Structure 1
Amino acid sequence: MNPVQTILITAIFVGFGLAEVISGRYKRLSIARDDWKVESVMLLLLLVLIQPGIFLGINWLGLRYAPQWQGALAFLPAWGMFLVLLVADDMTQYWWHRISHSPLLWPLHRAHHSAGYMSVRVVYRNNFFYYAMMPGLWISAVLIYMGFGNVYIVYVVLKMLVIIGAHSAVRWDEPLYKIRALHPLMWVVERTISTPATHYAHHAITNEDGIGHYKGNFGNFLFLWDVLFGTALITRRYPSVVGLQDDISYGKEAWSAEVFFPVFKSTRSHSALGKERIIVE
């Protein structure tokens, strides 16, 4: 990861985290005992092992087997590279996220939804293999090898600003909805990028209140993909409860199973992470 990129994303992450603390919202979060293990281990593995491993691996393979392609697309204008990244990284992540709510891949994404709270802590909370197999990371690595490096820095900082903001306990969009003069602007914003209102709905524990929408609102950077592919729900409201009902009914899963399934499996009854998987989303 580029040092400038690292500094900026860290500043965004810390900034939203401090805002949660200062506003008192973090103190009010109901956080289970082992949640910090899932989040800290996965953050460390993603930033130290998975992403650098993919990027360095693709660079090594490129130099060894396709040196002629190094920087081959560097002639493209910055705006063109940015648009390519929106499709090659963000749209593919939309589809990866969407199919991860299918029975086959749900165990690799379940950890992200098992948090009973919304916070910056949830941003990188996922299974190891969810990130290791994410198509967008591999495609981005190829594009960086082909000359997208500088534009990728700008792209990923903006993307993480949106994603971190959409997960934060500080709902930045909430006061803006109350300003009548901003209604036209917010109509465009909430259909373009992920906001707390649309993404909280995706983490809701139920759809029955007309606010939750865990079978949709899959967008990460752009919410536009949900609009285009028919999975969007916009209510400008926030679900009262987030998380997973089966965790409430049967108890939290072991953090090791959440992060490393299928290497480690759950011993809990009625589990999507067990030897005999029961799919409950």
Structure 2
Amino acid sequence: MVRVRPGVMNNSLYPYLLFWGVGLLCFAAEWLHPAHPIRYRSVLWKDLLALGLYNLSFLLVVQVTDRIPIPQYLPVALYNLPSVWKLLLFYLVEDFGLYWVHRLMHTRTVWPVHRWHHSPTSLYWLAGIRATIPHIALFNLTYVAALPLLHEASGWVFQVIMVEHIVRNSWMHLNVTWNSAWLEWVFVTPRYHHIHHSSAPAHQVKNLGALLTIWDRLFGTYYNPDRIQGQLSFGLNERVTPARLVIGL
């Protein structure tokens, strides 16, 4: 479910306790400042099943992707770079890769592996957990490809990444409303990402960024959330059997 440095907290319940701790905070935020009305009783059980599938799929995927031999491309001159700078480099490379992988998923050929993620008609913090095995594999490749940048980095760096990755997915899909335009000059926010989940086809190829908004601005996929009038609707505009959605066919 989460990325952990080999040998660090592999047998710990900490990542799972953190996930549900964040989840409780998200529920509280959504109850206080909801962006859209949600009937949790009708959607929560589906996403709990999706969470179970995600955990099993992730454990399977990392057994393959983590064995991909990525050559050490960090220049020797940067080996002694402070860990915080290595972390920043890692995030720039990983996020750049995530943007292009996400953009690839919205091409006609690769769309089937990603559309389950767009199937929720109610968007809230747990709805973003829906992901097929190919979806997880493609996204995990960006982590693996950026990992050499953390050569000899301090152990705390990997714990920061683990916590941030847990928080990010819940944060992006959070059902809250607030004026976050100032933050969106740098970071993806819930209202920014909700546009991408809109059922309007034109919106689904916009705001593809995962952490930083700069890639959308640079490569022509930025959509200003302030342009949205009224409530967004979510979900697919096509009929697909549940089995095909989950498998990614």
TM-score grouping bracket, smaller chain normalisation? 0.7 to 0.9
Q: Distance in 1 between matches of 2:98 and 2:40?
A: 31
Deviation at 1:23, TM superposition (A): 6.9
Q: Distance in 2 between matches of 1:30 and 1:253?
A: 19
Cα 1:164–1:218 shift into 2, 3 Å = same
* Residues 1:117 and 2:122 are matched in the alignment: yes
Deviation at 1:224, TM superposition (A): 2.1
1:38 to 50, 54, 57: 50
* Residues 1:13 and 2:18 are matched in the alignment: no
Q: Distance in 2 between matches of 1:112 and 1:101?
A: 11
Deviation at 1:199, TM superposition (A): 0.7
Q: After superposition, what is the alpha-carbon deviation per residue over 1:137-191, rounded to whole angstroms, capped at 9, x for unaligned?
A: 32144445x334532332443354343212012x1xx33x2xxxxxxxx443112
1:167 to 157, 168, 173: 173
Q: Distance in 2 between matches of 1:200 and 1:76?
A: 37
Instruction: Tell me which residue corresponds to 1:264.
Output: none
Question: Which stretch has the larger CA shift, 235-244 or 103-112?
Answer: 235-244
* Residues 1:197 and 2:191 are matched in the alignment: yes
Q: After superposition, what is the alpha-carbon deviation per residue over 1:77-97, rounded to whole angstroms, capped at 9, x for unaligned?
A: 123212211222111001100
Q: Distance in 2 between matches of 1:230 and 1:31?
A: 34
1:234 to 214, 220, 224: 224
Letter of the 1:136 counterpart: T
More relative contact order in 1 or in 2 (CA 8 Å, sep 6+)?
2
* Residues 1:253 and 2:241 are matched in the alignment: yes
Letter of the 2:90 counterpart: L
CA-based RMSD: 3.4
* Residues 1:243 and 2:248 are matched in the alignment: no
Letter of the 1:163 counterpart: N
Cα 1:41–1:218 shift into 2, 3 Å = same
- SS at 1:116's partner residue? coil
Q: Tell me if the contact between 1:167 and 1:199 (Cα under 8 Å) persists in the aligned partners.
A: yes
Deviation at 1:217, TM superposition (A): 0.2
Letter of the 1:133 counterpart: L
Deviation at 1:230, TM superposition (A): 1.8
Question: Which stretch has the larger CA shift, 21-30 or 127-136?
Answer: 21-30
- SS at 1:246's partner residue? coil
Letter of the 2:94 counterpart: D
Q: Distance in 2 between matches of 1:242 and 1:100?
A: 18
Larger Rg: 1
Cα 1:245–1:83 shift into 2, 3 Å = same
TM-score, scaled to structure 1: 0.68
* Residues 1:50 and 2:50 are matched in the alignment: no
Q: Tell me if the contact between 2:123 and 2:234 (Cα under 8 Å) persists in the aligned partners.
A: yes
Letter of the 1:241 counterpart: S
How many pairs are equivalent?
A: 231
Unaligned runs of 5+ residues in structure 2 are none
Aligned sequence identity (%): 23
* Residues 1:137 and 2:143 are matched in the alignment: yes
